[in-house]
Amino acid sequence: MANFLLERTVALPLDEAWRRLTRWPRHAEAVPLTRIRVTTAEPTHQGTRFVARSGIGPLSFDDPMEVTEWHPPRDGAPGRCRLEKRGRVMTGWAELEVHPAPEDRTRVLWREEIHVRSVPAGLDGLVRRTSYVVFGRAVDRLLRTA
């Protein structure tokens, strides 16, 4: 399994950073070769499910996820969301957190554990580095654009 942690501090209010990170269809705009389909009713809540379809043609796979914790920021308090990956190709989890930071900024934490089936443990380092780059760019883009 590959684990990684992304940290960002952005000049956004807490609620806006949270909104940008947790609008699931927007992730398709930030992750290459990916489409997102939310399969439960809005708004997002514990139990919300969605599927990320990644790849091209026959090299595509579904990455179904479920929100297992949903604690939006309230009254300046931090927000936290946990997703469980439940696919045939990828399993694991992701945790997104937003914390107040000085000067009306927000500190974002994105932790993830990814297991890609049929990929030997000896390649976890490659999966970790690749995921760090791909998700780092995605987080940056999500936070940069409304």
Strand-pair partners of 106:
10, 100
Can you tell me the mean pLDDT for 96-124?
Answer: 95
- For 118, what's the count of Cα atoms within 13 Å in the CB-facing half-sphere? 3
CATH number of the domain located at residue range(s) 2-144 in this protein: 3.30.530.20
Those residues whose C-beta lies under 8 Å from the C-beta of residue 127, and which sit 6 or more positions away, are 2, 114, 116, 119
What is the dihedral angle through the alpha carbons of 98, 113, 143, 11, rounded to the nearest 10 degrees? 40
The radius of gyration of the chain from alpha carbons, rounded to an integer in Å, stands at: 15
What angle, rounded to 10 degrees, do the helices at 124-144 and 14-22 form? Answer: 120
pLDDT at 146: 79
Predicted TM-score of the model (pTM): 0.93
Give the mean model confidence (pLDDT) for residues 107-115.
97
The pLDDT assigned to 123 comes to 92
Sequence ranges of the domains in the chain = 2-144
One DSSP character per residue, 46-59 reads TT-EEEEEESSGGG
pLDDT above 90 (res 141): yes
Sorted by sequence, the CB contacts under 8 Å of residue 72 that are 6+ apart come out as 15, 18, 22, 79
Mean pLDDT value across residues 42-59: 95
Residue 142 has a pLDDT of 97
H-helix segments, 25-94: 27-30
- The arithmetic mean of pLDDT across residues 97-122, rounded, is 95
What pLDDT digit, counting tens, does each position of 12-43 carry? 999 999 999 999 999 999 999 999 999 999 99
Per-residue pLDDT tens digits for 57-104: 999 999 999 999 999 999 999 999 999 999 999 999 999 999 999 999
Contact 79, 72 (CB under 8 A): yes
